[in-house]
Amino acid sequence: MKKILIILFVLPITYSGWSQAFDFKIDHFALVVEDSDISAEFYGKILGLRETPHPDRSPGFRWFIVSGNSQIHLIEKDFAPFEKNKSMHLCLSTRALDQFIAHLEAHGITYWDWPGEKNAVTHRSDGVRQIYIQDPDDYWIEINDAKH
């Protein structure tokens, strides 16, 4: 019986080392884009995000508020091209997924499910529904209805 009590007492101490120690929040996600004005149109009009001014008002930088203090920063800059595949994506969650899909359809924006079927929705085993869209620079964005 003493062995069991010792194990149960030691396990919580071991697992506590895995807990988040620094209270991180996502501040921003930065994307290098070819044309910040074209990308800004997409993030503002299609995703419905509110733009916030760059502190220095530097050209080629467009910042958008996602939620609270989290932002997406669009940075117009030359960079080495790379393959953009769906596994590397930004994910946004909304409780209004059906309305968002209708918004995409009204604007002629194609969306895909995870396997790649156009205008289809993935139904995950945990009950979350998700779609994927691409921005003007072909970055993948997942939109799902996960509850947080």
Any idea what DSSP says for residue 49?
Answer: P
Three-class SS state of 128: coil
* Residue 70 reports pLDDT greater than 90: yes
Q: What is the pLDDT of residue 79?
A: 87
* Residue 15 reports pLDDT greater than 60: no
pTM: 0.83
Distance CA 127, CA 24 (A): 27
Rounded to the nearest integer, the mean pLDDT of the chain is: 89
CB-based contacts of 22-28 (< 8 A; 24+ apart in sequence) = 25/68, 25/69, 25/70, 26/70, 27/69, 27/70, 27/71, 28/63, 28/70, 28/71, 28/72, 28/73
**What's the rounded mean pLDDT across residues 102-130?**
98
**What's the rounded mean pLDDT across residues 50-67?**
94
Three-class SS state of 119: coil
Q: How confident is the model at residue 18 (pLDDT cuts 50, 70, 90)?
A: low
* Residue 4 reports pLDDT greater than 90: no
Q: Which domains are present in the chain?
A: 25-77 (3.30.720.120), 86-148 (3.10.180.10)
